Amino acid sequence: MATKSTTTKKVSNQGVPTSIEQTTFEKLSAINVNKFVEKKNNLTYLSWAFAWSETKKVCPDATYTIVKDEQGNPYVYDEMLGFMCETNVTIEGETLSMWLPVMDSKNQAMRKVPYSYTTRYGEKQVAGATSFDINKTLMRCLVKNLAMFGMGIYIYAGEDMPVTSTPSTPSAPSAPSKTKETETESKPKLDITNEKWSAMANFCVENKALGFKKLCDKVGAKYTLTAAAKNEIKNLIK
């Protein structure tokens, strides 16, 4: 689906663009949500109430729906994979979807009945999902859905602060291109003791379907991963 652009240009009497209105994504992604996040088990969560209220302030026409199955249940269920929740958010005529599995505090998929699994640390138990678990996942899914429009998206990207747009200025002569080796050296190291690790762990868990290699490639595009960080990513997506 092509992304709808809400950008409009103001043209001067000479026919030269003088300014550009911010798109919905630019407005929402510039909002600082740091005061409304909570950290649990190395993961960062944004309050759904704040995310929705701030979105409505900027985009009064915003609406969301919870996708239901044929029986009217607010989830789909597979005996092996567990529960999956899905939401749709519509802003200015554009609808984007998001889905999220129902997981326990160890980020293991929950099923209708309890089950166990084996790790190198021994056997672990996963409780059966309750209506509370499903409701919590639905609201987390909504928050992630809103991030697709820009609200708090920097949390998933591992940033500390939102990116704000600045007026365009004449471009300066381009500097000589960096070699791949120089770019690698300039990337900050990411370790499990790093202050950015919490947000990055959240990103890995939310996108565990990508698999270990692709996650490392995505994270490695911005950071130099330590061995400890790679091992922890493996543990997070098990």
Average pLDDT value for residue range 80-87: 96
- Stated pTM of the model: 0.62
DSSP state of 109: B
What's the pLDDT score for residue 114? 96
Report the DSSP pairing between strands 63-66 and 82-91.
antiparallel
Q: In Å, what is the CA distance from 34 to each residue of 45, 47, 199? A: 10, 10, 11
Distance CA 63, CA 56 (A): 9
Q: What single-letter amino acid sits at 5?
A: S
Flag whether pLDDT at 4 surpasses 70.
Answer: no
pLDDT in tens, 91-117: 999 999 999 999 998 889 999 999 999
Q: Which numeric CATH code is attached to 32-104+130-156?
A: 3.30.160
Structural domain boundaries of the chain?
32-104+130-156, 183-236
pLDDT in tens, 190-217: 777 776 777 777 777 777 777 888 778 7
Please give the mean pLDDT across all residues of the chain.
81
pLDDT in tens, 139-192: 999 999 999 999 999 988 766 556 555 444 444 444 444 444 444 446 777 777
Cα three-residue angle 229-234-238, rounded to 5 degrees: 150
Distance CA 168, CA 166 (A): 6
